[in-house]
Chains A and B, each alone.
Chain A
Amino acid sequence: MARRAGTLTALALAFVTLAPVAVVMVQAGGRGLTAPDWAALRFTLLQAVLSALASVGCAVPLARALARRRFAGRGALITALGAPFLLPVIVAVLGLLAVFGRAGVVNATLRGLGLPEVSIFGLGGVVLAHVFLNMPLATRMLLQGWQAIPAERLRLAESLGFTPREVWRHLERPMLRAVLPGALLAVFAICLTSFAVVLILGGGPAATTVELAIWQAIRFEFDLPRAATLAVMQVLACGGAVGLAGLVARAPGFGAGLDRLHPLPAPPGWRRGLDAAVLALATLFLAAPLLAVLQRGLPGLLSLPASIWPAAAASALVACLAAPLAVGGALALALGRAQGVRWLEPVAMLPMAGSQLVLGTGLFLIAFPFVTPARLSLPVTVLVTAVMSLPFAYRILAPAAQALVADYGRLAAALDLRGGAALRLLVLPRLRRPLGFALGLCAALAAGDLGVVALFATETGVTLPLAISRLMGAYRMDQAAGAALVLVALAFGLFWIGDRWGRGGTEA
C-alpha cells in the first residue's frame, strides 16, 4: 500500500541530506584529516557507545516497572519523561551542575559528611548527562514495546501459570529483541552528534567530538571539504550502527490481537520492591536537575522581555509545520520498510548522523545564488527541523508498522484496501498511539531546535532558542533561565497535545 510513497520519500530525504554535503564537499581547499581528527572520532564513538548502553540499560528496568505497575502519578511520570529530552542543552547542563557540580547538592552533602567531593567533568560526566537526556526517550520507546504485546498472549501466559521468569523468556525477551536495537541506535546516533554536552562536561580538549572538528573547519579555517569529510565519517559510523542493529533485531512474531486491555502480570514479593526502588531512583535522578532548572528559571519569568512572546509564537509555528511533515515522511518510510523495501531503513536514519552545520552550510550554498537567505528563513527552518526529527519519528513508528503489515497486510491485500481508505481505516486507528507520540516528540524537538537557523537568520524572525542564546550573550542569565522555562513549557505542551491524542483517552 505504501511502497511507492516510501520510495519517493526516501529519495527526497536522501537528496535533502546528501546534496548539501556534496555541495560542501566540492568547494575549493581541503587539507585532509589530521591525527586530532582521528582522536576526536575515537572519543566520539567511545562516548556514544557508552552513553547508548548506559541509557538503554537503565531504561529497561524502568520501562518494565512502568509497564507492569499501577500507582498514583504513573501517567504524570510517563508524560514527564518527555521533559529532559526537550530541554535546551545548556539549560540541562546547568540543571545537572546544580545537582552534581562543584556547588551542587551532591557535593554539598559530601562536604557536610566530611567525604571527598566528586567531579562531574570527564567521560563519566558526559555519559551521565547523556543518560539524563536520553534514558527517558529510550524508556518511552521500550514502553511502547511492552504495550504492544497483545493481550491474548498475556492471558495465555496467565492461564498457563507462567512464572515471572517464563514471562521474561517467552514474551519480554522476544519483544526487547525487536525494540532494543532501535532504541540503542537512536541514543547512539544522538550522542554521536552531541556537541555542547561533550564539550562542556568533557573537561578539556581530550574530550572532543567530530562535530567540534566540523565547527572548527567551517568557522575558523573555512575548509569546507574537510568539514564534509568529517560529516561523512559521522554518517558512516551511524550507517555501521544501523547495519548492526538490523542484524540483531528480530520481529517478536506475537501475531495479531484484538486490542483488549489486559494488564501485564505484576509479580509480588521482592520484585515488587525492586520495581518500587527502580521507579524511586529514576524519578529522583530525573526530577532533581529538572527541579533545579525550575527553581533557577522561576524568578526570571517575572522580568521576561516582551520580545519573548513573538519568538515563542515563531517557534510554535515552526513546530506545527515541521511535525506533520516529519511524521508523514516517517510513516511512509516505516510502512514501505515493513513491506520489504529494506534500503529505506538506513535512509530514514541518515539525518540523525548528519551534521547540522554541514547541512545548513550546504543549503546556504545551494540557495544563495538564487535568493536572499533571510527570505528562506521559515521554509528552511521547517524543512531542516522536519528532516532532523524524522529519524525519531521513524524509530517510534517502525516496530508498530512492522507489526501492522505482518498482522493485517494479507487481510488488506485480500480486501484490496489501498490508498486513502487504507490510511483512514487501517493505519491511523492501528498506529494512533505511536503516531501521537511521534507527532508530539517532533513538534517539541522542532520548537527547541536552534540548529541551522543561524545562517538563515533575519533581524526579526527570532525563534525562542535564539532569543535565549541572545539573552545569555547579553549577560542576562536570569532572564535566559526564565525564557528557557517558557521554551520547556511550549515544547512540553506541544508534546503533551500529540501524545494525548495518540493515547486517545485510553489507559497508557
Chain B
Amino acid sequence: MSGLRPLHLRPNVKWSLTMKTLCFAAGCLAIATPALAETPVLDVLTYDSFVSEWGPGPAIEKAFEAECGCDLRFTPAGDGAALLARLQLEGARTEADVVLGLDTNLTAAARKTGLFAPHGQTPDLSLPVPFTDADFLPYDWGWFAFVHGKSLTAPGDFKALAASDLKIVIQDPRSSTPGLGLLMWVKAAYGDQAAQIWADLADNIVTVTPGWSEAYGMFLEGEADMVLSYTTSPAYHLIAEQDDSKAAAVFAEGNYLQVEVMGKLAASDQPELADRFLAFMLSDAAQSVLPVTNWMYPAHVPAEGLPKGFETLAQPAKSLLLSADEAEALRGPALDEWRAALAR
C-alpha cells in the first residue's frame, strides 16, 4: 500500500491534547502502523449536516465500509458554500478524495479550481430535468418551495405572493445556498423583470436570515406565514413527527431545483476507491437512505421506490434550473439587483 499517508493511520483521530498525549499517540502510531496499513482510507469532504447522526453519513459509512474493505472518513466543513471555500483553501494539497455536497450554483466555481477529475460514469438518473456533467454526479435533489401551514391558501406564483399580505422569511443569498437558490429561481423565472418582482416582494419579507435553520425556526415559531425551504420539508414533519399540517406551495412559473452533486478530486491517492464510492452513492443502498435523512429526492429512485409519505408531497409541473455557467455568470448582477430592490 504505497500511496498511504501516515497521517491517516491513526484510527478515529479525535483531539490531540498536550505534547505528552501527542508523543504517546505517536508511539501508538508507530506500533499500529503495520496492522492498519492494510486498510485504505477514503477521505470525503462534505457539509456538516451530512455527517451528523441524523444525516445520511453514519448509515452510508456503515454500508460502504461493509463492502469496500476500507475506512470511509467524512470531514465536515460547514454548509455547501463553506465546503467550496474549504476546498479552495486547501487547494491541490487537499487530502480529500471526494467532495460531496456542492450544488449546481457552485459547480462552475468548483470546476474553475481545476481540482476535479471527470467521473466517467453514465448513471441512470431520475431527475425531473436532463442532467449531464462530466465532473459532477448528482446524488440527490429537491425543489425549492415556500412551505406553509395547511390552513393557509397558498398563492400560485410570485406575483400573487407579492400582491398578498402574506409574510415570508427567506435566507440571505450572500451566506446561504437556499438563499442563493431563491435568487436564481426569480432570475430564471423572470429574467429582466426580476428586480421588479423583488421590489414587489419587499413588503412581504419579514426578514432575511443568514442560514436555513434560523428561517425555518422562525417559521415554526409563527413569525411568518411561509418560509423558503423545499417541497420535501413537509415529509420530515409527516414521517418523523406524524404531523401532516405542513404543505409546500407549487408555483406556476415552475419551482427551481437544487441538485446536490459530488465529484472526485484529480489528486486523489485512491482513485479507484473514489470511483467505487461515487457509484455506491447512486446505488439502491445509499439512495434509499437519503430521502429520510437528507429529506431530499434520491437522484436515482431505488427499486423499493420512495418512502411512504413522499407520495403526499406537492409535485411542481414545471422545474427550473440554470446551467452551472449561467448561474455563475448571473450571480453577481442578480445579487446587486436583489440588494438594490430590497434596500429601498
A97 touches B223 (CB 8 A): yes
| B151 CB to nearest A CB, Å | 14
A506 within 8 A of B: no
Given A472-B213, A473-B212, residue A212 in contact with residue B175 (CB < 8 A): yes
| B275 CB to nearest A CB, Å | 23
A199 touches B208 (CB 8 A): yes
B74 touches A98 (CB 8 A): no
Q: How far is the CA of A393 from the CA of B208 in the complex (A)?
A: 34
Q: Mark B89-123, 1 if CB is under 8 A from A, else 0.
A: 11001010000000000000100000000000000
A378 within 8 A of B: yes
| B56 CB to nearest A CB, Å | 11
With beta carbons under 8 angstroms apart, the residue of B13, B208, B221 that contacts A204 is B208
Q: How far is the CA of A195 from the CA of B209 in the complex (A)?
A: 10
Q: How far is the CA of A101 from the CA of B194 in the complex (A)?
A: 30
B14 within 8 A of A: yes
Q: Mark A19-42, 1 if CB is under 8 A from B, else 0.
A: 000000000000000001001000
Residues of A within 8 A of B222 (CB): 101-103
B217 touches A477 (CB 8 A): yes
With beta carbons under 8 angstroms apart, the residue of A90, A216, A455, A470 that contacts B174 is A216
B343 touches A90 (CB 8 A): no
A200 touches B93 (CB 8 A): no
B52 touches A222 (CB 8 A): no
Residues of B within 8 A of A480 (CB): 217
Q: How far is the CA of A93 from the CA of B214 in the complex (A)?
A: 9
B202 touches A204 (CB 8 A): yes
With beta carbons under 8 angstroms apart, the residue of B76, B109, B210, B331 that contacts A195 is B210
Residues of B within 8 A of A222 (CB): 84-85, 88, 109
Residues of B within 8 A of A199 (CB): 172, 175, 207-210
Q: How far is the CA of A460 from the CA of B61 in the complex (A)?
A: 14
A435 within 8 A of B: no
| B223 CB to nearest A CB, Å | 5
Residues of B within 8 A of A455 (CB): 77, 86, 89
| B224 CB to nearest A CB, Å | 8
B144 within 8 A of A: no
Q: How far is the CA of A377 from the CA of B55 in the complex (A)?
A: 22
Q: Mark A351-371, 1 if CB is under 8 A from B, else 0.
A: 000000000010011001100
B66 within 8 A of A: no
Residues of A within 8 A of B240 (CB): 475
B175 touches A215 (CB 8 A): yes
Given A200-B207, A200-B209, A457-B77, residue A101 in contact with residue B339 (CB < 8 A): no
| A211 CB to nearest B CB, Å | 10
B78 touches A454 (CB 8 A): yes
B175 touches A90 (CB 8 A): no
Residues of B within 8 A of A121 (CB): 206-207
Q: How far is the CA of A457 from the CA of B295 in the complex (A)?
A: 24
| A197 CB to nearest B CB, Å | 10
Q: How far is the CA of A222 from the CA of B109 in the complex (A)?
A: 10
B75 within 8 A of A: yes
Q: How far is the CA of A461 from the CA of B48 in the complex (A)?
A: 13
Q: How far is the CA of A93 from the CA of B221 in the complex (A)?
A: 11
Q: How far is the CA of A475 from the CA of B76 in the complex (A)?
A: 18
| Those of A285-327 within 8 Å (CB) of chain B | 305, 307, 314
A469 touches B14 (CB 8 A): no
Choose among B82, B208, B222 the residue with the greatest number of A CB atoms under 10 Å from its CB.
B208
B248 within 8 A of A: no
Given A219-B82, A474-B49, A475-B236, residue A212 in contact with residue B223 (CB < 8 A): no
A459 touches B49 (CB 8 A): no
Q: Mark B183-201, 1 if CB is under 8 A from A, else 0.
A: 0000000000000000000
Task: Sort chain B's interface into a size bin.
Answer: 35 or more
Q: How far is the CA of A474 from the CA of B50 in the complex (A)?
A: 9
A284 within 8 A of B: no
A201 touches B207 (CB 8 A): yes
Given A365-B89, A455-B77, A473-B52, residue A94 in contact with residue B218 (CB < 8 A): yes
| B277 CB to nearest A CB, Å | 16
B77 touches A200 (CB 8 A): no
Q: Mark B317-344, 1 if CB is under 8 A from A, else 0.
A: 0000000000000010000001100110
| Those of A143-194 within 8 Å (CB) of chain B | none
A458 touches B48 (CB 8 A): no
Task: Using CB atoms, name the residue of chain A closest to B344.
Answer: A206
Q: How far is the CA of A212 from the CA of B208 in the complex (A)?
A: 12
Residues of B within 8 A of A477 (CB): 216-217, 220
| A91 CB to nearest B CB, Å | 9
B217 touches A90 (CB 8 A): yes
A474 touches B207 (CB 8 A): no
Q: How far is the CA of A368 from the CA of B52 in the complex (A)?
A: 24
Q: How far is the CA of A287 from the CA of B147 in the complex (A)?
A: 32
A206 touches B206 (CB 8 A): no
Q: Mark A207-238, 1 if CB is under 8 A from B, else 0.
A: 00000110110111010000000000000000
With beta carbons under 8 angstroms apart, the residue of A39, A102, A364, A466 that contacts B89 is A364
A424 within 8 A of B: no
Given A216-B175, A378-B16, A459-B75, residue A94 in contact with residue B221 (CB < 8 A): yes
Q: Mark B230-251, 1 if CB is under 8 A from A, else 0.
A: 0001001100100000000000
| Those of B41-96 within 8 Å (CB) of chain A | 48-49, 51-55, 73-78, 81-82, 84-86, 88-90, 93, 95
Task: Using CB atoms, name the residue of chain A closest to B220.
Answer: A477
Q: How far is the CA of A378 from the CA of B82 in the complex (A)?
A: 20
Given A196-B210, A219-B175, A365-B89, residue A460 in contact with residue B236 (CB < 8 A): no
A101 touches B223 (CB 8 A): yes
Residues of B within 8 A of A219 (CB): 78, 81-82, 84-85, 175
A372 touches B7 (CB 8 A): yes
Task: Using CB atoms, name the residue of chain B closest to A369.
Answer: B93
Q: How far is the CA of A374 from the CA of B75 in the complex (A)?
A: 8
| B287 CB to nearest A CB, Å | 19
B1 within 8 A of A: no
Residues of A within 8 A of B339 (CB): 36, 205
B24 within 8 A of A: no
Residues of A within 8 A of B226 (CB): none
22 A-B pairs (CB sep. < 8 Å): A94-B218, A101-B221, A102-B167, A103-B221, A103-B223, A121-B207, A196-B214, A199-B172, A200-B210, A202-B208, A203-B205, A204-B343, A212-B174, A219-B81, A219-B82, A307-B53, A378-B16, A459-B51, A466-B48, A471-B52, A473-B48, A474-B54
Where the two chains meet, the residues of B that have a C-beta atom closer than 8 Å to any C-beta of A are 7, 12-17, 48-49, 51-55, 73-78, 81-82, 84-86, 88-90, 93, 95, 109, 167, 172, 174-175, 180, 202, 205-210, 212-214, 216-218, 220-224, 233, 236-237, 240, 295, 331, 338-339, 342-343
| Additional pairs, 6, CB under 8 Å, beyond known A101-B223, A364-B89, A477-B216 | A102-B206, A102-B223, A203-B205, A204-B207, A206-B343, A368-B93
Where the two chains meet, the residues of A that have a C-beta atom closer than 8 Å to any C-beta of B are 36, 39, 90, 93-94, 97-98, 101-103, 121, 195-196, 199-206, 212-213, 215-216, 218-220, 222, 305, 307, 314, 361, 364-365, 368-369, 372, 374-379, 454-455, 457-461, 466, 469-477, 480
